[in-house]
Amino acid sequence: MDTHIFKDMIAVIRTEEQRRVSLLTGEDPDFEYERWLSTDEPFVNELCLMVLVTLRHQVARELVKLAARASDDGKEISPKEYHAEVQKLRKGRGWNWETIKARLNLESCAGNKRMEVLRLLVNSYKHDFSMEPDNELLNSLKLETGDDYARLPESPALRERLATSVGLGKEAGYCDIVGRFVDIASGFLAEAQSHTKARPVKRVPTSFIPAR
């Protein structure tokens, strides 16, 4: 997986974060701090969550492509057969993750648990109407499910536990958290590829002359 685009996204968000931090001049500290907590920090955090959604979907694409080619025989697969194998991995509008996990032996990958946290975080962000962490995400992060939590972009408790779950200090911000998830995802995919025998897709000639 090419991580450059994700690194560039993080750099853009950091620049905007620093611009907003620069507005904390101290001329009216109470007002400025309140603005940071209520508006600026949640804005930056939500941009980071959007990057994590993109990251999760890119990881899913890479895993599907790899699972569609997984085979012990090592023989070439035609583009038509490859696309047919991709369709076999479909489950409704999503993917049959049980089959994909089994084909790629994902449970044995070192970053599997952290990638599961990423999946649950993204699902909670996308599907919860109030953008509050759901119980599956809280359980995966070992947070109390009976407590009231702020929205995902605003919850210090969630940010702190996300940070420690990926090996950072609890004071780490979302930009650092996203950067670590990008590195974990890259290593996770590389490990999955390293222990999977994948059939190469046969190259076929393509005409650039428009069909009449």
CB 175 within 8 A of CB 17: yes
End-to-end Cα spacing for the chain: 38
Alpha-carbon distances of 188 from 104, 110, 160, 203, rounded to whole Å? 11, 7, 23, 27
142: left (phi over 0), alpha (psi -120 to 50) or beta: left
Residue with tokens 């779950």: 165
Cα–Cα distance, 119 to 133 (Å, whole number): 12
Position 54 scores a pLDDT of 97
Position 28 scores a pLDDT of 87
Q: Which two tokens stand for residue 52?
A: 């994590």
Spell out, as residue ranges, where the chain has pLDDT lower than 50: none
